Structure 1
Amino acid sequence: MYGLIKNELYKFFKQKKLYLFIAVIVAVQLVSVWQYQSSNREQVSHLLNGQSYPLAALAESSLFITMFMAVFIAETIVEEYKRGTFKLVLLRPVSRTQFIFAKSVSVLACICFMVAFTILTAYGIGVLFLGWGNQLIVQGEPLFSDGMLLRDGKGVVLTVVAAFAYSLPVFGFAMLIMFIALLSLNVGITIGTALALFMFVPLLNGVIQDYSIIHIMNDFPYLAINEVTSQEFFLSIGIIFVYIMVFYIGSLIFIKKKDVLL
């Protein structure tokens, strides 16, 4: 099992597209900070600072993180199936349950890496161009806890919590994309579906939007660090784990029925 996971992670880190992702994230952050500095900030009540920028950068990078994740899943599943790599793996003493589990764990690790990289570079760029600042600004307003401003170390801790919270719904979305990849066995359909869901689901209204993983992906990090009702927070957690389990089990059932050894 460990060998399978290690092999999947090796595939991720040897991809040339990973360097493209790194370059895009850094470029997006630099352009974002430059635009902010060039804008008229006299009408802004609370100026963005270095300790607050990582959360803003994570929201700005959401499309790139999810799309790169979709590309990675599509290539590691669809391309491996076409090249017959599935056959080579499953001819060894490896069950299909272990195979899907290793794929899922590696995807989660890749998501955590991309989120961590985004946060770390945002801290560096934010502090370099905006300074550290004296309070944590979230969505344009200072964040309070028990009536006190959050700043410095406490702000960093909450940023890490928000980043971890963001990774959970992204993983739920990844399980959906993995299921689509196994179902379609087509790179274009897998990536196109991921992009369509990401772009158009937020345009929906009502119950569909409230229970969509894309909506939760955008809101859940802020639920995790703001003082919200436990019912709203735990409802979101429940929806996330439903997505993860339903599509993980769906992928497992499908690959068990799929004849990959022909």
Structure 2
Amino acid sequence: MKLLKNEMYKVFKLNKLFYFMVMAIGLLIIQGVTVLSSPSGNINGQSFPMFMLSRIMPLFIFFMALLFAEIISDEYRNGTLKLFLLRPVHRVELLNAKIAAMIISVLMLLLFVMTGSYVIGAALLGWGDQMMFNDTVFPAAQGILLTLQSYIITALPCLGFGMIIVLVSILSPTMGGTIGISLGIMFVLTALENVQELHSFSIVHQMNLYQSFAGKFQAVNVISGLVNIAMYILIFYMGSVLAIKKKEIVI
């Protein structure tokens, strides 16, 4: 818990979370104005958070890449990382604390985007009397619960992609390398969306998993999606553990 507290302190001290919250507000306003000016737009304040969920994901990937570039790659480069390991702290414990800090930060950013979507959507588009998603109409209370559920579910594929970034940040000696490689992986996995036989294996594709819970429950998609996400988390976590154990940190 002391390690986690220290990692969260660094997240807030570095102001990364604050900067991305400001960026998220800017994107929400731009998208809200775009929807408002669309002649065929039928999205109201209740539907706007679900509308934004899939569109905001690149921001989360960039946030995780920048965060781990700072708290692993840059700490290794400037020697800060080895200071922790001079104390009775196991490398895997330190790694777990950094991953836990990422999960908490992503959840906070997700909930912030959801709340901001409601506020900006209602201000620009009006609240409306019902929520519509995938041609299904939901009463206001049910729509809010569905939206909250969707945002929380989306934290799982974010963690799956985050584990890729963790491994990249351990292997890359520079911040720029971590960010560049992570964004490159995002573009490659996004490109798999156009290959029907492969797109379900992309963790980027699984960021739409929440749609299988909305409206008619799609058990096959949910099970295959959760298995896919679990494999990403497990494989890249184990790879990260092996990499940090072998990395020459203390000199």
Q: Which TM-score band (shorter chain)?
A: over 0.9
What TM-score, normalized by structure 2, do the two folds share? 0.94
Q: Give percent identity, aligned residues only.
A: 32
Gaps of 5+ in 1: 144-148
Partners of 1:227 and 1:254 lie apart in 2 by 42
Residue 172 (1) aligns with residue 160 (2): yes
Corresponding residue for 2:115? 120
3-state DSSP of counterpart to 1:207: coil
Instruction: Tell me: CA distance 1:249–1:200, structure 2 relative to 1, closer, same or farther (3 Å).
Output: closer
Corresponding residue for 2:51? 56
Corresponding residue for 1:155? 143
Corresponding residue for 1:227? 216
- Output one character per residue of 1:146-196: Cα deviation in whole Å (capped at 9) or x when no partner: xxx412111111101100111110111000111011112222221112212
Instruction: Tell me: CA distance 1:40–1:192, structure 2 relative to 1, closer, same or farther (3 Å).
Output: same
Corresponding residue for 1:242? 231
Corresponding residue for 2:199? 209
Partners of 1:186 and 1:238 lie apart in 2 by 32
3-state DSSP of counterpart to 1:225: coil
Contact 1:161/1:225 (<8 A) preserved: no
Contact 2:73/2:178 (<8 A) preserved: no
Aligned ranges for residues 78-93 of structure 1 at < 5 Å?
78-93=73-88
Partners of 1:104 and 1:257 lie apart in 2 by 18
Partners of 1:109 and 1:207 lie apart in 2 by 34
Partners of 2:215 and 2:96 lie apart in 1 by 33
- Output one character per residue of 1:117-143: Cα deviation in whole Å (capped at 9) or x when no partner: 10010011111121221222225x2x2
Partners of 2:188 and 2:89 lie apart in 1 by 39
Cα offset, 1:51, TM superposition: 1.0
- Which stretch has the larger CA shift, 67-76 or 194-203? 194-203
Corresponding residue for 1:146? none
Corresponding residue for 1:19? 18
Which amino acid counterpart does residue 213 of structure 1 have in structure 2? I
- Which stretch has the larger CA shift, 160-169 or 184-193? 184-193
Partners of 1:57 and 1:232 lie apart in 2 by 21
Residue 31 (1) aligns with residue 30 (2): yes
Contact 1:5/1:106 (<8 A) preserved: yes
- Which stretch has the larger CA shift, 93-102 or 202-211? 202-211
- Output one character per residue of 1:204-259: Cα deviation in whole Å (capped at 9) or x when no partner: 21333210101111x21211323233122111001101111111111111111222
3-state DSSP of counterpart to 2:26: helix
Partners of 2:90 and 2:16 lie apart in 1 by 30
Contact 1:177/1:194 (<8 A) preserved: yes
3-state DSSP of counterpart to 1:137: strand
Cα offset, 1:199, TM superposition: 2.5
Cα offset, 1:201, TM superposition: 2.2
CA RMSD of aligned residues (A): 1.5
Gaps of 5+ in 2: none
Contact 1:165/1:224 (<8 A) preserved: no
Residue 191 (1) aligns with residue 179 (2): yes
3-state DSSP of counterpart to 2:213: helix
What TM-score, normalized by structure 1, do the two folds share? 0.90
Q: How many corresponding residue pairs?
A: 249
